[in-house]
Structure 1
């Protein structure tokens, strides 16, 4: 395992890279972080990915050392990028390029997964036609990208959604399915009952905010991811 510094437009970002044991070359799964920045939850997801036999690279779209610890700090980091999707997509492309450059990675076989804000991020990677075979969004945000108003998506798309997520309403779900249908994407949507936002985030327990971990939905959604990655690679 290693922390990996990389640059995009002259600015330093810090990723986290894991290689699977016993493999000289492997596909890579890049991981887009939630609104607080790359942290323990993304590292835990990277470890789970590596155990499946894939390389894992947790990206950073905020910049080295830029992390949030409060709602206000997280919003201050995330909102500018939600409002400037071209900039977000550029930083994601830089993270993907860094992942493909790591030792032992097969650069022709890449996928992206993301959580919360990272779920929006990987959907943007699909919208912008980044060179990934597929993307998987977990309790992600569905706001469309203004700079890609009518995307033509070639990557396969999987969405894992908590039905009681206050940040992605049933109306938002219908909107993203309409967008994906119009994009020509090969897409699938898995909806988890009794689940709110952050259902895969260990320790999440704020019902007032709507962010609650759900062990069953975490397990089921990760099993769906395993099948998805097997199909991609």
Structure 2
């Protein structure tokens, strides 16, 4: 009986204590920041606000390496090989008319304001072969060629005369055909030499036209009896 009465009197007090503990746990943060951290952040922000960047506009020029030049001073900004003058509006660089590079230039240097050709191809290429400047050569029996100073090959093809025979031949390493047996012409199907009368059979004598080898031979047929000439 006594215990039951004690529980009834202590019940409201226990409930009130539980509510107070719950309120304290919710209202207070789990961890409190270090005051020194806040001081460090504040000092860093203040230092950043106090940084002053130099402004050279209207006072000088700065190259790619950070060097400062006075107004009127000549310098090389780095992105250009041509000299520049520092002005209030910034660097003003020279823009010279550079000489045209050789079309056969194989090595170009950019050390100066203008590009400079340091090596020019001093040979010619023709049909897979190389030749020196002014070198003469014959790629075929009928061609005569030379490597010109402009690295181009100039060739001349031989103009062959018309052979004075009906059976010309081509010899190795010779461009034009030749008549190995001298001038001749056709007498029917027979080839006869030019300049003389030739008896092609017992009754016929032929002779080539003088200078007109391509024409058939002039032939004179005599009267014959049983294959024998009567004259």
Structure having the higher Rg? 2
Q: TM-score range by the shorter chain?
A: under 0.3
Work out which structure has the larger RCO, using CA pairs closer than 8 Å and 6 or more positions apart in sequence: 1
Scaled by the length of structure 1, what TM-score is found?
Answer: 0.14
Greater per-residue strand proportion: 2
Greater per-residue helix proportion: 1
